[in-house]
Amino acid sequence: MGKISEFNQHDHEVIAREYADLKEAARKRCPDQTELDMIQKAFDFANEAHKGVRRRSGEPYILHPIAVAKIVVSNIGLGYKSIIAALLHDVVEDTDYTVDDLRSLFGDKVATLVEGLTKIKTVLDNEDKAVKKSMQAENFKRILLTLNDDVRVVLIKLADRLHNVRTIEFMPEHKRDKILSETMFVFIPLAHRLGLYSIKSEMEDIWLRYKEPDAFHQISEQINRTVIDKDKKINEFIAPIDQALKSAGFQYEIKKRVKTPYSIWKKMRTKGVSFDQIYDLYAVRIIFDASRTKEPERAQCFHIFSIITGLYPYKEDRVRDWVNHPKNNGYEALHCTLMSQAGIWVEVQIRSQRMHEIAEKGIAAHWAYKKEGIISESESEMDKWITKVKDILVNPDVNALDLLDMIHNDLITTDIMVFTPKGDQRSIDKGATALDFAYAIHSEIGNKAIAAKVNFKLAPLSHVLKTGDQIEIITAENENPKREWLQFVKTSKARKFILEYLKTQRHTTEKHGKHMLEVALLEIGKSLTDKVMKSLMEEFDVFDTKPEEMYYKIGNGEISLENLSEKLKKYHGINRESYFVISNSDSNQKYILASCCTPIMGESVIGFRDSDGVITVHTRTCPNANNLAAKFGDQIVAVKWDKEANSGSTYLARVSLKGTDRMGMINDITRITSKVLGVNIRRFNLGAEEGIFDGFIDLYVHDITELERYIARLSKIKGIDRVVKTDL
């Protein structure tokens, strides 16, 4: 909660001002005076309950529930019961009031919402390591289980998380890392899947601001400079569109926007491009009133598309039709990218007012239109997704950590459209296989599948599907699920049914897994000692369970034994040269550099302490580090580089390159690397085909500054299009 102290006049003025803003927002959403009176009653109650209590920032605690309530009504568009629940969401946890007290004052629904929002208060047994290590996952499971009762609980929880990250600067560093990692691992994908674009984008930008502050500020400055330079040109681009739509009789508004710092940073990282190479930096939204004519919304979208593409050339491979095929978070729009008269690529998003409201407020707007009969059950991809998540959540055989991974993977997938033999359209995860499709039709079809026909051609069950494919599943009565199926299925539904079958053979699977492990260890000259067992259980994230769980996961294919020797090198001094002093605060502390992201001196890093006290150091933006922090926040350790202790040390890094091949290219690269910059190359792997070369260089550098200087120098070589640090 926070410290107790009397509020002064300034505190009361701030509270009154913030509540007045909330009341104004609520009035637009809740015209009924009775509802507004209940909101006032909830505010008075919460204000009294949190009286004199302050947050870490020093501000009155009541400002937090007011801020959450404002997000609930303004960003999500929920009604008065959700506003009341947001105002009261910390009362039961932080004061002596009970859920029954709230029920008697505000009714069953509000009490149920607050009960769902109340955090778990568990007294942990210090010796109960398994419970302690999975506490965060259990919290997430409880949050997501509320989807079975009322999705509004999750929405209010998202609003609560958004305000917490807005004020994260007042948190200690280790707590900040935990919260930001949880946010990236679960809450940002959840906001995306529920269609809450503004909440998702704001949380992403806050994550970047604290995880990569230099990159955030640099990109933000570049955005500001570019907008000032190009704003006039964008207005000139819009003018002909404005005139043409008026002439066609449309009622509309046009809005401009620029990509967010996070989306630009992510594209620069994944594509290996510079800020100047991001061609779709600008977007223009055309939001039209579909009620002006009886012409269907979809037809009006394509009518506008035909008008604007008659004015400007468009990039054919950048047309996105989410009008005929909405995203599974309910998003509908028609996107295209046009070339302006100034030579700038501009993305244009065409939406009706209904589509725009769903795009901005997500599931709440979706429900409102569905209630009015504008969205039918058959069109509701969001409802299908919620049903799918509920099926995962109620599976008694899935523990909290596995469930968290399943939900995370489900949240970040996108959908494609495929067809049954009869021509019925089905939505399935991008990357799904023919076997996933079989299980999507029926569990028995999946269990008995032996092959498929994709577009009338025979294909294996592992065949990856593409949009537009027509699939027929071939079955055999004596067929049963195989553990190797787990290696290629994509969907949680398919995995669930396969695991259910394999559970009946668990003992056999455990014996098989143990044998596989013993054989794999024998091949690298080792045996299954207690020391090796402990290391592997930690490596495979099963250190809070019994060895049989690891054997089972190896046997059913969930754990791969590839590169087993490399996995073991991180433990018990086998790779002793990787230990280093990162901070001089404890000369006896041992650290290892994570092999997944290979941190380099000077990079922003985060540490995780294992059961032996050894700290593994990751870069702050490493996906594995985010996943660990989301699940095991109590193991986070704040670490800093000790430049003096590490002076003279070198770090192995990989730089990937791509460009246009020419005579002398390799000579130029090696000359710059070895002779000009004096960098020591460990491995050089470049190949060329049809005039394009790509590959990588493994090299030793003293710190991140040296690596960045090297990358910048290589980027200036004629013909090189991309140079970026990648994982080894």
Active site positions, annotated:
93-94
Q: Coil, strand, or helix at residue 264?
A: helix
Say how far apart CA 215 and CA 260 lie, in whole Å: 13
* Percentages of the chain per state (helix, strand, coil), in multiples of 5: 55, 15, 30
Among candidates 385, 353, 384, 350, which has minimal Cα distance to 369?
353
SS3 448: coil
With helix as H, strand as E and coil as C, how does 457-472 read? EEECCCCECCCCCEEE
- CA distance linking residue 6 with residue 672, whole number of Å: 66
Q: DSSP of 59-113, one letter per residue?
A: SBTTHHHHHHHHHIIIII---HHHHHHHHHTTHHHHSS--HHHHHHHH-HHHHHH
Which residues sit opposite 349 in a β-bridge? 285, 335
d(C-alpha 669, C-alpha 314), whole Å: 37
Q: What SS3 class is residue 505?
A: coil
Cα Rg for the chain, rounded, in angstroms? 28
List Cβ neighbours of 630 (8 Å cut-off, separation of 6 or more).
Answer: 136, 181, 182, 184, 185, 186, 404
What is the layout of strands, in order, in the sheet containing 615-619?
A: 591-593, 615-619, 605-609, 636-637
Side-chain half-sphere CA neighbours of 179 within 13 A: 22
Are 582 and 591 within 8 A, CB to CB? yes
CA dist 615 and 599 (Å) reads 13
